Structure 1
Amino acid sequence: MHFRKWSKKHSYIAVWFLAPSVIGFSVFYLIPFVMGVYYSFTNGASGGSFVGFANYQDLLASDSFRKAALNTALFTSVSVPITVVISLFIALLLNQNIYFRNWLRTAYVLPLVVPVASVVLIWQILFDWNGALNSWLSGFDLERIDWMKSEWARVVLSVVYAWKNVGYNVILFLAGLQGIPKDYYETAEIEGAGAYHQFTRITLVYLTPTTFFIALMALVSSFRIFRETYLIASDYPHDSIYMLQHYMNNMFLSLDIQKLTSAATLMVACMVIIVSVMFTLERRLASFME
């Protein structure tokens, strides 16, 4: 009886502590999103009539939306795997007894605490027509590259994305690597397994949950690249880096609420589908390894 009273009392306390977060999430995220989904099926932001999927048909017929969706899909499908692989490689190096290991660990964490807006000037200096990279190219008698006004803009954006996310991924990979018992490697070495087999049969297997989580976070982060793109390339980026966030921002500025909410709903739906597929693959892979 005493335990039930204690449990009930602490349940009330937990509810009071959770209430501010739940209310804030509902007011600023959940309710606006539900309203946005509703508006995407009407022909007006207030008092509009139901039009079914007409807004989505108009959206899919828009060349600007298709271009933004294609650029976003291409950026995500290329940048996310490359960033995850680079992060794993760096984590494997930092997990060894190398010189300056502690200093390097700190260096890779810095992008997490440095605001993007404060380092935009550095990226602009590097990739400007008269910037540092083109000066180095000229020093080797190579042709200058208009980094932000050509197809190279995709590379620039991928570099900025990797710089921002690699440090966080490395921390998670290091935590996963340090959680693998050393006895497994010693046993494998005694049985004659080489470095390749130890990596594929032990390291990758035990890093599977960590890798899926990092891939998931990297995927979400890739859909939020608008801030970096906007700060570096301003309002009118090159067509190759015109993302879904640019399209939605333009629809917001033109007060086209129907296309804005339709695009946002489609983007969230795509993310939910991709995440669901990733979780399904992770569960099947985990059951297979067991």
Structure 2
Amino acid sequence: MMKRAIREKLRPAARRQAQTGLMLAAPVFLGSGIFFLLPFCLMLRYSLTFGIGGFRFVGLRNYREVLESPAFQLAAVNTVRFLAVGLPLIMALGLLLALLLRQKLPGAGLLRRVLLLPMVLPVASIVMLVQILFAGPGILNGLLEQWGLFPRQWLNGPESFWVLVGLYVWKNCGYNVVLFLAGLNMIPEELYQTAELDGAGPWAKFRFITLPLLIPSLFFGFIFSIVNSFKVYREAFLLGGEYPAQSIYLLQHFSNNNFRNLNYQRLSVAAILLFSVIFLLVGLLLWAQRKTET
């Protein structure tokens, strides 16, 4: 009887808490529905129809046309190549710098500030600096000519891909360093001291202590690196315009050009395919993280 009385007293309080939670979350749900879910449904409808109004249903014909488009294939290959090169590079460099900064070497504080500086700089100023360095009559080509070497088309040839990768790593590496440093500081120092007493070397401590306990930070760093890699379109657009060198023509260029041409069907298909790729990447990362935890 006492338990039943306690439950009856707790039910109104729990109901009020649930109602309060729903009221607080209602603006978020409403905003997400209006600004995200509804546009996504409209985009899905456009991808399956034909014409500006999108009244005629054509099934998967738009998807087939986009997948067979040479422009889309070039953009997809360049995007996958950028991810395959940029993500491992920024993760490895961020982890290496975080490990070095944790050693409290001379000048570590200054290095932290230098790494965070690109994150607060405007994109236009960064691109202006890149153009001064890598443009046709830029500083780098001037040095090559002085050394008796041929100048290169850093922003209009195959080399532009590596310029864009370097710009992406330089601009976003500081965030990963801060994230990894926070994860390293959470690891108890006693674990390293115990491992030293057992005769473990630096590689053994990194492999069996640092790396396993740093997996959550590595996971979030990888997620944010993926998101930032798709934001690199801003730099690519400012460097090369709407139709840049073929090596840096990305999926975002393809979507932007179709938007300017009012081809909403191809734009919707490209956006859904891009969303699917990001969704699969994040899903695989979540699956891998759960596997490592178990």
TM-score > 0.5, shorter chain as reference: yes
Describe the SS at the equivalent of 1:180: coil
Shift of 1:30: 2.2
Describe the SS at the equivalent of 1:193: coil
RMSD: 1.8
Report whether the alignment pairs 1:279 with 2:286: yes
Describe the SS at the equivalent of 1:122: helix
CA contact (8 A) 2:45 2:54 kept: no
Shift of 1:23: 3.0
Describe the SS at the equivalent of 2:262: coil
Report whether the alignment pairs 1:58 with 2:65: yes
Identity value in percent: 39
Shift of 1:224: 2.4
Q: 1:20 to 1:136 in 2, by over 3 A?
A: farther
Q: Which residue of 2 aligns with 1:131?
A: 138
Paired with 1:13 and 1:122, the residues of 2 have a C-alpha distance of 51
Amino acid at match of 2:166: V
Paired with 2:12 and 2:120, the residues of 1 have a C-alpha distance of 44
Identify the match of residue 240 of structure 1 among 219, 239, 247. 247
Map of 1:103-122 to 2, 5 A cutoff? 103-122=110-129
**Structure 2 unaligned residues grouped into runs of 5+:** 1-7
Paired with 2:214 and 2:21, the residues of 1 have a C-alpha distance of 34
Deviations 1:219-240 (A, max 9, x none): 2221222111001212221001
Residues paired across the two proteins, number = 287
Paired with 1:77 and 1:239, the residues of 2 have a C-alpha distance of 17
Paired with 2:39 and 2:248, the residues of 1 have a C-alpha distance of 28
When the two structures are superposed, what TM-score results if normalisation uses the length of structure 2? 0.91
Report whether the alignment pairs 1:186 with 2:205: no
When the two structures are superposed, what TM-score results if normalisation uses the length of structure 1? 0.93
Paired with 2:148 and 2:251, the residues of 1 have a C-alpha distance of 38
Between 184-193 and 20-29, the greater mean CA deviation after superposition? 20-29
Identify the match of residue 78 of structure 1 among 68, 79, 85. 85
Shift of 1:187: 0.8
Q: Which residue of 2 aligns with 1:25?
A: 32
Paired with 2:240 and 2:156, the residues of 1 have a C-alpha distance of 9
**Structure 1 unaligned residues grouped into runs of 5+:** none
Paired with 1:118 and 1:28, the residues of 2 have a C-alpha distance of 31
In terms of Rg, which structure is larger? 2
Report whether the alignment pairs 1:158 with 2:165: yes
Paired with 2:219 and 2:122, the residues of 1 have a C-alpha distance of 26
Q: 1:228 to 1:193 in 2, by over 3 A?
A: same
Shift of 1:16: 4.3
Q: Which residue of 2 aligns with 1:100?
A: 107
